[in-house]
Amino acid sequence: MIGKRRRRARGAILWGLLAFATIQVALEAAVERQPKWRDPAYAEKLLKLQRRLPAAPDNTPVVVVLGSSRTQNDIDASHLEEELAARCGRRVSAFNFGLKAAGPLNELIVLRRLLADKVRPDLLVVEVMPAFLAETGGPFLFTFFPPHTFSIEELSLIDGFSSGAGLGHDWWKGRLIPSQTHRLGLMHDVALSWLPPDAWSTSVGSCDDAGWQSLWRDAQTDERREKGMEWARREYIDHFKNFRLGGSSCRALTEILNLCRAEGIPAALLLLPEITEFRSWYSPDVEDQLEAFLGDLGRKYAATVINGRAWVTDEEFFDGHHLLPQAATDFAERLGPRLSPLLGERAQSTARRTTVTNAWK
């Protein structure tokens, strides 16, 4: 009798394990096809972007800005949208798709995802962070991007650009139990009411309806600014020592422009503001390399290059390369005149019309 019960118990355990494994395999297959389940940060922004797209074709141009936390923090897309609409004389939809630590390879992946999700911008603005363009900058690209957020195809793409990334082992480990690894994205999509009220914002962060998320809203002080600068020195200054431009990021940035050309999407390359000390870390040789590389890309792909590194005074940063909230709004106002010609600025002259240049300095 006891032996029979033991056999039944073992059978129940084995069937339970088999059912669990079957569920994990099915979930993994589903997650592989759905970037919004794999990558909650992407999912949040995609959902908000889709809500802002015109319900039907009405000649409303859509502007999407890709980039890192600099983009995420520095561009008040709602204000940019207003500025562009005023200059173009028609409605414009602008969205900030900045994601923490996203370099050119991550930007390429996001663009490919957006196109697969039937989001095709009428203008793509791509942040260029010079530190990412160093030959030694490859591993820095994936600091904040868990490998399990990439699909198998994206993992292969990454390996093609940066064979030393070494993400395969961590990818498999993260994908072993998808019900645990991807629970936040899955529950947000199919059982949002089951999540605690702050679970999403705590894990992913929260942006406004146009994708903008200010990372600093407390009162700024000299002490806080210096602490932020110290962090920036530790994180970035070494990237400009013996700087040599090249590597996977440069190839990925070129591929973004190749994809834009193939899709007929106008593109602009944007360098975001930095404090005076931060800009001093660029030697004349670094400046020359950047100017030559981005100038060549601009000419080859008819892409506008906008160097906004010196557009903001030092008092308007909280850590040397992320702007305070009001500065992000002011920056969007200054960016509008540089982008509006790419959308067909209205012919009538206005008091706010400015001359657009691609000057590096």
Q: What percent of the chain has pLDDT over 90?
A: 47
pLDDT above 60: residue 201? no
Q: Taking a C-beta distance cutoff of 8 angstroms, is the pair 77, 49 a contact?
A: no
pLDDT band at 160 (very low <50, low <70, confident <90, very high): confident
pLDDT above 60: residue 348? no
pLDDT in the model for residue 101: 83
Q: Which of 335, 319, 338, 343 is nearest to 75 (CA)?
A: 335
Angle between helices 183-190 and 2-33 (to 10 degrees): 80
pLDDT in the model for residue 346: 46
pLDDT in the model for residue 80: 97
Which range is least confidently modeled, 9-18, 53-62, 198-207, 301-310? 198-207
Ordered DSSP codes for 133-188 = GBGGGTGGGGTT--GGGS-HHHHHHHHHH-TT---HHHHHHHHSSHHHHTHHHHHH
Task: Say which residue, 216 or 292, is predicted with more confidence.
Answer: 292
Q: What is the DSSP letter of 267?
A: E
254-267 per-position pLDDT tens digit = 999 999 999 999 99
Copy the structure tokens of residue 222.
């000299």
Q: Would you tell me which CATH number, out of the four given (2.40.50.100, 3.30.1180.10, 2.60.40.1180, 3.40.50.1110), belongs to the domain 34-343?
A: 3.40.50.1110
The residue extents of the domains of the chain are 34-343
Beta-bridge mates of residue 245: 134
pLDDT band at 193 (very low <50, low <70, confident <90, very high): low
Q: What does the CA dihedral 168, 173, 176, 181 come to, rounded to 10 degrees?
A: -110
75-130 per-position pLDDT tens digit = 999 999 999 999 999 999 999 999 988 999 999 999 999 999 999 999 999 999 99
Nearest-angstrom CA–CA distance, 139 and 156: 16
Q: What is the mean pLDDT of residues 137-146?
A: 53
- For 239, the enclosing helix (H) or strand (E) is none
Task: Say which residue, 260 or 144, is predicted with more confidence.
Answer: 260
pLDDT in the model for residue 340: 95
Strand order in the sheet with 93-98: 93-98, 62-67, 123-127, 267-271, 304-307
pLDDT band at 138 (very low <50, low <70, confident <90, very high): very low
Q: Taking a C-beta distance cutoff of 8 angstroms, is the pair 204, 40 a contact?
A: yes
pLDDT in the model for residue 322: 94
- For 219, the enclosing helix (H) or strand (E) is none
pLDDT in the model for residue 139: 41
pLDDT in the model for residue 211: 95
Q: Which of 214, 245, 243, 244 is nearest to 316 (CA)?
A: 214
pLDDT in the model for residue 276: 96
Q: Which of 313, 355, 311 is nearest to 333 (CA)?
A: 311
